[in-house]
Amino acid sequence: MIKQRQAEPDLASLLWQHHEEIATAWAEKVRNLPGTRYAEHSISEIRSWLSSEIAVAVETLSSGAYEAVEVHLRDVSLTCLQMGFSISEVTGGLLVFQETAFLAIQQACLLGSAEIGDAMARLDVYLGFVMSCFVRSYTATMEKELRESEERFRTIADFAYDWQYWLDPDGNYVYVSPSCERITGYRSDEFRKDPELLERIIHRDDCATVIEHLRGEPLESSQSHLAEFRVITRSGEECWLEHVCQPVYGSDGRYRGRRASNRDITDRKRAEEALEDRERERIITAERNRLARKLHDSVTQALYSVTLCADATRMAMSSGRQDVAIENLDRLHRMAREAMIDMRTLIFELHPPVLEEEGLVGALQARLAAVEARAGLRAEIRVEGAQCLPLPIAEELFWIAVEALNNVVKHAKAQKIEVRYQFDGSSVCLEIEDDGVGFDSAEARRGGGAGLRGMEERAHRIQGKLEITSTPELGTMVRVAVEI
């Protein structure tokens, strides 16, 4: 604390007497200082700030007590810091005060040259104190704001529910939030001491993809990366994480590392799996019911018809009607053959190939061998391109093909079936073509058969385009195309 000085009413009264012209000249000069933030503000705004500075100077020089200016400078320091003014900008503006005050006092011609020099010396002492006090106050205020900012950040980060962390460019942890222990069972200091701990606890099925991302080059600009993967907690449990990260760049544009947030989504994943299980069970139940109806409608009725035909044949033979008996035997043979085809179809549908293991092409080959070939049809499959498809798309395509093949075997009276599969990485096309009797496709659509509706629904589920082309006596082609 500076001790009180003797009152200097002459200088104080001169400043107050000419404070309007001093404030105006000061504001104009300050606004034109090169490379400062003053240029972002209007003359009137700057003048209002500087008027308060002159008022404080008058009060201090009049009373000789410096407590008021110290309080004022603490407020000024906080305001300047919040507005982004640097120490050099403010002290540069204060130096202009001496220049404008000198000109105003000199032009007033109220004092002799010696008195003016004495007054300006006193003003110089005052400004020296003010600048020294401002620098101390600004520095203290900046340090306080920094501590409070760090405290706010740490409070927010430490009490965040998600697991937050920041890696520097060398892959070392700058910060790890305590939530990591709630999620993984490992403390934040364990991650900081062992930067590779996260990689070691990643589930082995997700390990390769996630580690490739974690060790990859920094992302461009502020682009973020989203991923879902599993980790094995300290207690050996499987935990699903939703991982979001993005690069961190300093004000100078240099890469500062990677900031990430890991959210525990295990409960959500379990709920999704439960829904998938229920949906799978619903589909299985519906399929069982469909097969049961099919068994009743086709095989059971076929066997009943066989029984009736056999009885009629026996009666014809008993009555000496050999021609009728021969005709019935031919009909009996056809019905038995059709029943056998239906039974093979049902057996295949009860135990279809596992698409995850066989792939779509392998499953179609198994179907052609199990049903069409044994029914006496010439069946072949042509493949172009890769055979790896997403499982949901492969499943729907497979059952569309099965429905088309069932129609050929039952109704087309075909001799040959050709299945064509084309996949170029971005789209897949599956075609089933036969040389059978064909049908009126427009009439079939108006009739709205269950088989056609089923194929259309399956194509719609995978956003595919289904086309059925058929002409009586010229065969049929079913084509489904899907963009991957």
What does the pLDDT look like over 28-53, one tens digit per residue? Answer: 888 888 888 888 888 888 888 888 88
- What is residue 8's predicted lDDT score, i.e. its pLDDT? 40
Rounded to the nearest 10 degrees, the angle between the axes of helix 322-350 and helix 266-294 is: 180
- Measured distance CA(361)–CA(380) in Å, rounded: 11
**Coil, strand or helix: which one is 470?**
strand
Q: How far is CA 291 from CA 232, 298, 367, in A?
A: 42, 10, 17
pTM over 0.75: no
Q: How far is CA 301 from CA 328, 343, 350, 481, in A?
A: 17, 12, 19, 36
- Measured distance CA(43)–CA(25) in Å, rounded: 10
Q: How confident is the model at residue 264 (pLDDT cuts 50, 70, 90)?
A: very high
The residue ranges of DSSP E strands in 134-191, in sequence order, are 163-167, 173-176
- Measured distance CA(172)–CA(257) in Å, rounded: 9
Q: For residues 183 and 174, is the Cβ–Cβ distance under 8 A?
A: no
CA dihedral 152, 154, 158, 164 (to 10 degrees): 110
> 40: exposed, middle or buried (C-beta count within 10 Å: 0-12, 13-18, 19+)?
exposed
Nearest to residue 80, comparing CAs of 95, 92, 68? 92
The residue ranges of DSSP E strands in 118-191, in sequence order, are 163-167, 173-176
Q: Which residue has the tokens 């980790």?
A: 231
* Assigned token pair, 126: 């005052």
- Mean pLDDT computed over 383-399: 87
- What is residue 267's predicted lDDT score, i.e. its pLDDT? 92
Q: How confident is the model at residue 20 (pLDDT cuts 50, 70, 90)?
A: confident
- Measured distance CA(50)–CA(365) in Å, rounded: 90
- Measured distance CA(379)–CA(365) in Å, rounded: 9
* Assigned token pair, 5: 């000085």
Most confident of the ranges 137-151, 180-194, 206-220, 273-287: 180-194
- Measured distance CA(141)–CA(149) in Å, rounded: 12
**Coil, strand or helix: which one is 72?**
helix
**Run of H or E including 263:** strand 255-264
- What is residue 155's predicted lDDT score, i.e. its pLDDT? 64
**Coil, strand or helix: which one is 159?**
coil
- Measured distance CA(358)–CA(234) in Å, rounded: 37
Looking at residue 139, its amino acid is: T
Non-local (6+) Cβ contacts of 116 within 8 A are 105, 106
- What is residue 188's predicted lDDT score, i.e. its pLDDT? 92
- Mean pLDDT computed over 337-354: 72
* Assigned token pair, 478: 């079913």
- Measured distance CA(333)–CA(326) in Å, rounded: 11
Rg of the chain in Å (alpha carbons): 45
Is the pLDDT score of 351 beyond 70? no
Non-local (6+) Cβ contacts of 39 within 8 A are 31, 32, 33
- What is residue 465's predicted lDDT score, i.e. its pLDDT? 94
- The C-alpha angle with vertex 416 and arms to 414 and 420, in degrees rounded to 5, equals 125
Buried b (16+ CB within 10 A) or exposed e, 419-444: bbbebeeeebbbbbbbbbbbbebeeb
- Percent of all residues in the chain with a pLDDT value above 90, rounded to a whole number: 24
Query: 246 pairs with which residues across the strands?
Result: 259
- Percent of all residues in the chain with a pLDDT value above 70, rounded to a whole number: 88
- What is residue 114's predicted lDDT score, i.e. its pLDDT? 64
Long-range contacts of 309-312 (CB under 8 A, 24+ apart): 309/335
Non-local (6+) Cβ contacts of 382 within 8 A are 418, 419, 420, 421
- What is residue 71's predicted lDDT score, i.e. its pLDDT? 86
- Average pLDDT for the chain: 83
Q: For residues 225 and 176, is the Cβ–Cβ distance under 8 A?
A: no
Q: How confident is the model at residue 477 (pLDDT cuts 50, 70, 90)?
A: very high
- Mean pLDDT computed over 337-352: 72
State how far Cα 295 lies from the chain centre: 47
- Mean pLDDT computed over 402-418: 90
- Measured distance CA(78)–CA(87) in Å, rounded: 12
Residue 12 Rama label (left phi>0; alpha psi -120 to 50; beta): alpha
Is the pLDDT score of 197 beyond 70? yes
